[in-house]
Amino acid sequence: MKDLTTEEVLKRFKHKDLTPQIQSETNQVYAFLKINDQEFPLFARIYEGKNLLQLISFFPKQILTKRISDTARLLHHFNKELDLPGFGMDERSKVVFFRCMIPTFQGKLDPEIFNSFYNSLFHACKQFAEVIDAISSGELSMDDFLKKPNKK
């Protein structure tokens, strides 16, 4: 177990072959996940009291205004099916995100638990990026998605 500090989060990101930086305005660690030739911004926030570490990755494309409802339905569907739900969207910014809240014990971060949550976040972004983009851009309707066999 390691003390939950900004330096430790930087180290964890570097272990994942990321190039982390510190956002000066928020003191959050951030980097970019490279998935399918796209960059997904990833932020890490240490909560006051150091009891939680939030990892949140934003999908790179904005949701078309007329696709907000279908996108919300899709994310709800995924969260219902996933063992570790974490999809959400910011309707004002029109962006989809995946968020993990990593619990700590007495301000200590377990590197193996961090790896498990990080890997879940990475795989959720990778596995669902294509269909989220298709729904949020209008290429595919939610009704058509639900009719497809072997849907993600």
Give me 135's structure tokens: 């729904």
Distance CA 135, CA 89 (A): 13
Q: Which CATH number fits domain 2-147: 3.40.50.720, 3.30.1460.70, 1.10.1060.10, 3.30.2320.20?
A: 3.30.1460.70
pLDDT at 151 over 70: no
Q: Can you state the percent helix, strand and coil of the chain, rounding each to 5? A: 40, 30, 30
Domain boundaries, the chain: 2-147
pLDDT at 152 over 80: no
Distances from the Cα of 104 to the Cαs of 26, 49, 73, 77, 113, in angstroms? 21, 10, 32, 29, 9
Distance CA 48, CA 22 (A): 17
Say if residues 44 and 29 touch (Cβ distance below 8 Å): yes
Amino acid at 81: E
Q: What is the pLDDT of residue 70?
A: 96
- Ranges assigned E (strand) in 21-86: 21-23, 28-35, 38-46, 52-58
Could you read off the pLDDT of 111-136 as tens digits, one per residue?
Answer: 999 999 999 999 999 999 999 999 99
Could you read off the pLDDT of 45-95 as tens digits, one per residue?
Answer: 999 889 999 999 999 999 999 999 999 999 999 999 999 999 999 999 999
Relative to beta strand 28-35, strand 21-23 is antiparallel
Could you read off the pLDDT of 2-52 as tens digits, one per residue?
Answer: 999 999 999 999 999 999 999 999 889 999 999 989 999 999 999 988 999
Residue (of 5, 116, 112) closest to 53 by Cα position: 5
- Tell me the whole-structure pTM to 2 decimals: 0.92
53 contacts: CB under 8 Å, gap ≥ 6: 4, 9, 44, 45, 46, 47, 101, 102, 104, 109, 114
